[in-house]
Amino acid sequence: MKTGDALRRAQAYGIDLVEISPTAKPPLCRIMDYGKYKYDQEKKKKEQKKHQVQTKLKEVKFRVNVGDHDYETKMRNLRKFIEHGDRVKVSLMFRGRENAHRELGFEVIQRVCKDTDDITTVDQVPRLQGRFVSAILVPKKAKK
């Protein structure tokens, strides 16, 4: 139908004439309440946001000469973060003379990666960034 006729019909109903597809030949329009349509779209968007899961990046810091008990405590926290579905950044900072023995830091990070191998995948391999060695671990996908 012609645009003028459609516009008159929409005004008679007291609602809007909305152009749906302007590139079509002829352009496609619909008679609808545009305010209600926008409201419904916002409501759908909020509902989708409510159901999506936000993954966070948690960080667990280690030391080169970490004690066994401290290591176990940090590993327990790391496992809790992974089971919750978060990504974990494992970092280790060198201080003073520890810089001379950086291989010890890499060994600690490798040990963490090996000990959590059953529930994590290494997303970013351990690499040196200034005085820090860091790696990022992500939860393994659940098997269906």
**pLDDT per residue over 103-126, tens digit each?**
888 999 999 999 999 999 998 898
Q: What is the arithmetic mean of pLDDT over 72-89?
A: 92
Per-position DSSP letters for 99-121, written without gaps between them: GGGHHHHHHHHHHHHHHTTTTEE
Evaluate whether residue 144 is within a structural domain: no
Q: How far is the C-alpha of 71 from the C-alpha of 14, rounded, in Å?
A: 70
Res. 143 pLDDT band, cuts 50 70 90: very low
pLDDT at 144 over 50: no
Question: Is the pTM here over 0.85, yes or no?
Answer: no
80 and 134 inside one domain: yes
Q: How far is the C-alpha of 61 from the C-alpha of 48, rounded, in Å?
A: 35
Q: Which amino acid is at 64?
A: V
Q: How far is the C-alpha of 49 from the C-alpha of 53, rounded, in Å?
A: 8
Confidence (pLDDT) at 44: 93
21 and 72 inside one domain: no
Token pair belonging to 118: 């059953």
- What is the CA angle 75-81-76, rounded to 5? 25
Q: Look up the domain containing 44 and give its range.
A: 3-49
The number of distinct structural domains making up the chain is 2
79 and 116 inside one domain: yes
Q: What is the arithmetic mean of pLDDT over 18-44?
A: 89
Q: Where would I find the H helices in the chain?
A: 3-13, 34-51, 68-84, 102-115
90 and 134 inside one domain: yes
pLDDT at 1 over 60: yes
Evaluate whether residue 94 is within a structural domain: yes
41 and 61 inside one domain: no
67 and 129 inside one domain: yes
45 and 72 inside one domain: no
